[in-house]
Homo-oligomer: A and B are copies of this chain.
Amino acid sequence: MAARADRLGAVRVEVRVELKPGVVDAEAESIEKSLALLGIPSVRRVTTARIYDLEFAGVDASEAERLAGDAVDRLLANPVIHRVHVRSVSD
């Protein structure tokens, strides 16, 4: 397994979790208000997202993306409110 991991190297997958359109983003709304109060009123809209950067060992890129999708379904996102983008990242 160690030899295989060495041969394949590390694979990084970036999971981006956003709120679906229509779901209230309370943090974003708070930032919009605060920026206006701070004198930066040209910000018309703020949206937020959470990034989970997963570093895999011993698997290739397609297997890593599949496992990342599994992690999203079972842990990282709630399909009722979240929209998710999964992509491989090369350093």
Residues of A within 8 A of B (CB): 10, 16, 28, 31, 34-35, 38, 40, 42-59, 64, 67, 70-71, 74-76
Determine if B38 and A56 form an interchain contact, defined as CB atoms under 8 angstroms apart: no
Whole-angstrom distance between the Cβ of A76 and the nearest chain B Cβ: 7
Alpha-carbon separation in the docked complex, A75 to B48 (Å): 14
Determine if B46 and A52 form an interchain contact, defined as CB atoms under 8 angstroms apart: yes
Determine if B53 and A46 form an interchain contact, defined as CB atoms under 8 angstroms apart: yes
Determine if A54 and B43 form an interchain contact, defined as CB atoms under 8 angstroms apart: yes
- Closest B residue to A43 by beta carbon equals B54
Determine if B56 and A31 form an interchain contact, defined as CB atoms under 8 angstroms apart: no
Cβ contacts under 8 Å, A57 to chain B: 42, 44
